[in-house]
Structure 1
């Protein structure tokens, strides 16, 4: 049996702390031989290397990630990382400020789309919190 590398173990811990166990469990359950290498790559490379580095907080990395995803028009990943802010400490005001930077440096259309997605995701989070109380 293949033993998991230290980077993969660190990556999985970080990935779970940012995205949540539910998301990671669903991703793991839907992994097939076709995308298993890709899943290992993002767990080790993105989560075990970049996201696990010292120097920036998870909140700061979260905001950078949101800005880059918004600028690139990666809506599904952007929405997922808005949901993850509940775990990273980035606030709605933080997201708003990051998206204002997107508007200036990547364009108003990218920011406009991201604001729409962020509003929907933040409202859904609020609804979930309200239902749980």
Structure 2
């Protein structure tokens, strides 16, 4: 594996947690291994590895984009990851306000429902 892959895996584990990454790695097959390597190098080893934004900022941007695109499972995953990135519930609420204005109230409203449920499951009072 490349240095970018190794760095990406470290960042991926730091943001998403070892348990999540271990489950993803255990589910990996020869069919999707190239895709998994691609996202580890590209998303985690390049985009998330850049020092131009903080992990908190990346977390907020990621959640806004996922909500705008209706990627609900990923919204929940990245809310859980926010415990590792420093993005607070207030930060995420503000990101959803942007989603409402720029991508639509229904998308933000549904994301907020998922965010509240995820925080409840995490034992985070909001």
SS at match of 1:27: helix
- Choose which of 40, 55, 60 in structure 2 pairs with 1:58: 55
CA distance in 1: counterparts of 2:43 and 2:87, whole angstroms: 19
CA distance in 2: counterparts of 1:87 and 1:17, whole angstroms: 7
SS at match of 2:112: helix
2:17 is equivalent to residue 6 of structure 1: no
- Choose which of 29, 32, 35 in structure 2 pairs with 1:35: 32
In structure 2, list runs of 5 or more residues that go unmatched: none
Pairs within 5 Å for 1:24-103: 24-103=21-100
CA distance in 1: counterparts of 2:110 and 2:35, whole angstroms: 28
CA distance in 1: counterparts of 2:17 and 2:4, whole angstroms: 19
Cα distance, 1:21 vs. partner?
Answer: 0.3
Cα distance, 1:10 vs. partner?
Answer: 0.6
**4+ aligned runs moved over 2 Å, structure 1:** none
CA distance in 2: counterparts of 1:97 and 1:124, whole angstroms: 21
CA distance in 1: counterparts of 2:75 and 2:3, whole angstroms: 28
Cα distance, 1:55 vs. partner?
Answer: 1.1
1:118 matched residue in structure 2:
115
**Which string of whole-angstrom CA distances, capped at 9 and with x for unpartnered residues, describes residues 45-100 of structure 1?**
00000000011110000000000000000001111001100000111111100001
Number of equivalenced pairs: 125
- TM-score under structure 2 length normalisation: 0.97
